[in-house]
Amino acid sequence: MRIRVLKPFLTALLLAAIPLHAQKIKVIVDQDARGPATTDMQSILIFLQSDKFDVLGITTVSGDQWVKEETQRTLRLLEIAGRTDVPVAMGAEFPLLNSKEESERWEALYGKLRYKGCWSDFSKRPESTPPAFREGYHEPDVVPTLVEGEPHIKAIDEDAAHFIIRMVHKYPGEVVIWAGGPLTNIALALRLDPQVATLAKSLVLMGSGMYADNGGISGVDARREFNWWFDPEAARIVLRAPWKKLTITPIDISVKTRFTTEMKATIAKAGTPVTQYLDKYSLPGYMWDEIAGAAMIDPSIITGQKQLYMDIDIDHGASYGKTLLWDSKAQVPPYLRLANVQFDIDAEKFYKLYMDLMTRPVRKP
């Protein structure tokens, strides 16, 4: 009888002894998924290829492209990666207040912006640019023919904001919300249910800029970074919410990395569906979003970070959409939140992790 009583007790002890790091991280990947094979898609692949994550779903939001096109490209990526088990919830088509017309009014007053995402016309790029990156401007309901192939699977019948709300309630205190694009979906979720911030485990996002002399959308000014500029009002709502933990990857660290043709060629040798996709469609450039995902797998790739109070300017004048920041010791209003902001990276260690992930065999769901 004693043995029978002890068995459940010993089993419970053994389960309790399993280290926390062995548990998968429940994550919602919120992304303005420009495709094919851009930094947006490569960051999604980090989550799909790693066995450290339980990807609850991918939520799409207009930014680099319109959300309908992004959603189709994301669904196709899931097919290529063999991860059709991951649901996709389509999110916001427009920012809360900002608009293509507002951006044109701003440019007429203050100067041209180098990049405006889905509001851009790329048709005048050199002929050597791949077709997917020479698109002219198109309306939000237009989905161009996908060079990577049309998906056979569909998005779920639930919008991104409600999906986020449902997941944090289903797994209170366990869900990391990861954002690689404009913050519209998360702002809408917070407005529908303010508990999102306190129920989530943490928020990790790529956005903002501070001291870098490149990477911004208006020249050398890093403080006008695309993700936050595209929907500044959403960024303000999200940044002021009471998250348990807030981690930010700014362009200051992104521009310290580079996806090269040599890395691309090395990856291609693996000959998997994912590496074939990357070999065919990816282009050299800064690894904007990948860092924010990779650092969740191995935090040691980040070699320098600061705690800063972060906010954004929403005055519809010359400073609209610019990052605001204060030192952690500054006297600030109580609605501002401290964030862990990444600034330095062990680039070689990051590249090694990234290339290992991209060349792994297709994961079984």
For β-strands 337-345 and 302-312, DSSP reports them as antiparallel
- From residue 127, give the alpha-carbon distance in Å to each of 115, 146, 171, 250: 19, 18, 49, 32
Task: Report pLDDT for 364.
Answer: 67
Q: What is the pLDDT of residue 5?
A: 46
Check residue 365 and give its pLDDT.
63
CB of 57 closer than 8 Å to CB of 89: yes
pLDDT reported for residue 119? 98
Per-residue pLDDT in tens (0 to 9) along the chain, 365 residues: 444 544 555 445 444 444 444 699 999 999 999 999 999 999 999 999 999 999 999 999 999 999 999 999 999 999 999 999 999 999 999 999 999 999 999 999 999 999 999 999 999 888 888 877 888 999 999 999 999 999 999 999 999 999 999 999 999 999 999 999 999 999 999 999 999 999 999 999 999 999 998 899 987 789 999 999 999 999 999 999 999 999 999 999 999 999 999 999 999 999 999 999 999 999 999 999 999 999 999 999 999 999 999 999 999 999 999 999 999 999 999 999 999 999 999 999 999 999 999 999 987 66
From its phi and psi, is residue 229 left (phi > 0), alpha (psi between -120 and 50) or beta? alpha
In this prediction, residue 1 carries a pLDDT of 44
CB 365 within 8 A of CB 83: yes
β-strands 25-31, 175-179: how paired? parallel
pLDDT (0 to 100) of residue 151: 98
Q: Is 154 left (phi over 0), alpha (psi -120 to 50) or beta?
A: beta
Neighbour count for residue 23 (Cβ, 10 Å): 11
